[in-house]
Chain A
Amino acid sequence: MKREAISALRARRGFLRKIGGAGAAVAVGTAGLMHKVAAKSEPAAAQKSFPTPDYDWTKHRWAFGVDATKCIGCLRCVEACKRENNVPLDAHHFNTWIERYVYLEGEDKARIDSQQDPVNIAASGSEGQYRFANRYQDAKVEKAFFVPKLCNQCEHPPCVQVCPVGATYKAKDGVVLIDAEYCIGCRYCVQACPYGARWFNEEKGVTQKCYWCYHRITKGLQPACVEVCPVGARVFGDRDDRDSPISLFIRNNRVQVLKPETGNAPNVFYVGIDKEVL
């Protein structure tokens, strides 16, 4: 157990060094990697191009947990994801983002903001850097919390249902992937996702979204956002493994999912969110 913790720590340290020192190089490298990952449609292990030849997608059932009570809104996850997955460094395209909910004294409804908010952009100094502005310092805050958001890799994904050419599909391990070489760029999936998780890459002419760092998890690594979270607000693992962090998270907490009424059956499980969170 201890050895595992040390190795995890080492991996994390290495990863942080990597994103700090050679962000651009990593971005370029992963772009190529993503390409390969996204291009597959048959069992991963059978494909030569797949970056992890011994990976068997029938042997895993990935899931993600978010403990909103732990999130401090530092946005390291957003930064890491942007660099790891080559997401445009602006305030309008996100694989993952953090929402801030603030109830002021005497108000019934939360004030909600996120990285696209002009006040937050002004506070960070540019659209490519992410920070929550200290906008409530003079207000009487009754309740406040952060909620990390990302693709829910739904059990019944509406984005997959509506894709006219089958370019986006659900892998056997539960992750919803996009074949960037087959996507026609119609953006019907962007419309169909009720969570706003998909975005269109104007330069590449295809839709993109979070895929739980598929290029990492198939190598036994954690998604970048999980790796960098300093407080453990993000939990990832294999539900087929009873002792994995995610299995423990789901078993030991009363978890909920976003917009359950849609019937999409998300695979991101939340703890500590509020009625206002959608």
Chain B
Amino acid sequence: MEHLIQYAPYTGWVYPNETVIEWSVAIVVYPYITGLVAGAFTVSSLYQVFGFQRLKPVAHLALLTSLCFMLFVPLPLLLHLGHPERAFNNLLTPHLTSAMAMFGYFATFYIVLLVVETWFAFRPYIVEQAQKRIGLIGSFYRALTLGSYDVSETALRYDRKWIFWLAIAGIPGAHGLHGYVGFVFGSLKSREWWSSDLMPLVFLFSAIISGVALLIVLYVASCKLRRTPIDLACLKGLAYTVWAFIIVAFVLEGLEFANIVYKGREGIEMIMTFVTGPLLFPYFVLQFGIGAIVPLLALSYMIWRGTTGKALVVGVTLSACLVLLSVFMMRWNVVIGGQEISKTGKGLLTYPLQVFGKEGLISSLSLVIAPLVVLLGITRLFPPWEHKAAP
């Protein structure tokens, strides 16, 4: 049985109160799944708003993925709060100087937007099922039609207009939601590792690559599960997207680190000791090396050589898995890494990862897996690949 609190071992000089690391792996998972939401929504928007036709096979899957992950975004926060029953104070009396105060509004707005957009996107399917099915499931679809059975061309054109404008509103919504997560960290002046103007952008672009990468994996997996051929043009489109955004994300993350090193403010010696010591593997090897440079090179090679067929599928999927790992490590290195560098600038702590408990490894991993399980269920009710109408 683990203790309620585990104290962090340290070297050098740290403030006594710092020996309790307050933001746990649950707070690593929170920006990770928020990022997946924003990234998946980006893919959906690339098709709905920007007309990337080759992404059509994944457009609705992207929307459902975004919705399923969004439903779980508040959970790590609720698990973390000392008084989760007071969480609504955030909505009732938001303290406007706080970067965290707007979370409730952003999240609520975005969940509503996703639900409405998903409803419009699946309306023809819902109507079709409502008319076809009987029993409980039929009643479910009939309730979801909200009384509207009109699937005429005029009505569908009207739906498309709604989807278009919701997608447009969703772009700043999704990216604002995630950029703001970066601001939560970047705006703090107490930690050199966090205090950066680039932080919101770093979070945003890493979010986009993680969401696109997730869709690559989900799309390939879904095709394998359903024994349907993979649309290579679509996969290539996703590969191009992730490739382009990796470059931006990589440059931004590199710039941020370069800024810290070049400015060399107080505490830089400790940061250098940290990144060349305990953070060497998670930061340089996993986040930058294996997670970013390897997929970037692999994707560049495949694009250059015009790789296609099975090699493309395997290469792109593996690259996507590495990107997912890289972004998780980026969240870890920011949230946990930031707290492992003492505010004194003269000491380092080691985060004691707990396995059990509400903020332990198991519950945090469950929070990453749970949206996928929900997605599996929801694709049974709203198959994102079968219905033909409502592009």
Q: Which residues of A contact B (CB under 8 A)?
A: 91-94, 97, 112-116, 149, 158, 160-167, 182-188, 190-202, 204-207, 262-263, 278
Q: Is B100 an interface position by the 8 A CB rule?
A: yes
Partner of A262, one of B22, B83, B189: B189
Task: Identify the stretch in B91-99, B285-293, B302-310, B382-390 within 8 Å (CB) of chain A at 4 or more residues.
Answer: B91-99
- B98 to A163, Cβ gap below 8 A? yes
Bound together, the chains give a CA A198 to CA B103 distance in angstroms of: 23
Nearest A residue to B87, CB-CB: A184
Q: Main secondary structure on chain A at its contact with chain B?
A: loop
**Chain B residues positioned under 8 Å from A198 (CB to CB):** 17
Knowing A186-B100, A188-B100, A191-B188 touch, does A165 contact B94 (C-beta < 8 A)? Answer: yes
Nearest A residue to B80, CB-CB: A186
- B82 to A165, Cβ gap below 8 A? no
**Chain A residues positioned under 8 Å from B13 (CB to CB):** 112-113
Chain B 13-41 interface residues, beta-carbon cutoff 8 Å to A: 13-20, 22-23
**Chain B residues positioned under 8 Å from A183 (CB to CB):** 82-83, 86
The 4 closest A-B pairs by CB, nearest first: A185-B82, A196-B15, A205-B82, A166-B95
Question: A270 → chain B, closest Cβ, in Å?
Answer: 16
Q: Is B391 an interface position by the 8 A CB rule?
A: no
Knowing A191-B188, A262-B189 touch, does A206 contact B83 (C-beta < 8 A)? Answer: yes
Nearest B residue to A160, CB-CB: B97
Question: A89 → chain B, closest Cβ, in Å?
Answer: 13
Nearest B residue to A263, CB-CB: B189
Known pairs A91-B19, A195-B343, A204-B82; list 18 more (Cβ under 8 Å). A112-B13, A114-B15, A116-B7, A116-B19, A158-B188, A162-B97, A164-B95, A165-B90, A166-B95, A188-B100, A190-B22, A191-B339, A196-B14, A196-B17, A198-B17, A205-B82, A263-B189, A278-B345
Nearest A residue to B189, CB-CB: A262
Chain B 276-306 interface residues, beta-carbon cutoff 8 Å to A: none
- B189 to A197, Cβ gap below 8 A? no
Q: Is B136 an interface position by the 8 A CB rule?
A: no
Knowing A158-B188, A166-B93, A191-B23 touch, does A199 contact B99 (C-beta < 8 A)? Answer: no
- B16 to A187, Cβ gap below 8 A? no
Question: A173 → chain B, closest Cβ, in Å?
Answer: 21
- A195 to B95, Cβ gap below 8 A? no
Bound together, the chains give a CA A112 to CA B84 distance in angstroms of: 38
Knowing A161-B98, A184-B87 touch, does A200 contact B190 (C-beta < 8 A)? Answer: no
Knowing A161-B97, A185-B83 touch, does A94 contact B17 (C-beta < 8 A)? Answer: yes
Knowing A92-B7, A182-B89 touch, does A162 contact B82 (C-beta < 8 A)? Answer: no
- B190 to A165, Cβ gap below 8 A? no
Bound together, the chains give a CA A202 to CA B101 distance in angstroms of: 23
Chain B 170-191 interface residues, beta-carbon cutoff 8 Å to A: 184, 188-191
Knowing A164-B98, A200-B22 touch, does A112 contact B346 (C-beta < 8 A)? Answer: yes
**Chain A residues positioned under 8 Å from B184 (CB to CB):** 188
Bound together, the chains give a CA A161 to CA B96 distance in angstroms of: 9
**Chain A residues positioned under 8 Å from B344 (CB to CB):** 112, 196, 278
- A193 to B190, Cβ gap below 8 A? yes
**Chain B residues positioned under 8 Å from A200 (CB to CB):** 20, 22, 82
Q: Is B81 an interface position by the 8 A CB rule?
A: yes
- A97 to B16, Cβ gap below 8 A? yes
Partner of B22, one of A94, A191, A206: A191
Q: Is B5 an interface position by the 8 A CB rule?
A: yes
Question: A163 → chain B, closest Cβ, in Å?
Answer: 5
Bound together, the chains give a CA A116 to CA B17 distance in angstroms of: 8
Q: Is B225 an interface position by the 8 A CB rule?
A: no
Q: Is B146 an interface position by the 8 A CB rule?
A: no
24 contacts between A and B (CB under 8 A): A92-B17, A114-B16, A116-B16, A149-B15, A164-B103, A165-B95, A165-B101, A182-B86, A184-B81, A184-B82, A184-B84, A185-B82, A185-B86, A186-B82, A186-B100, A188-B100, A188-B184, A191-B190, A192-B190, A196-B343, A200-B22, A200-B82, A204-B82, A206-B83
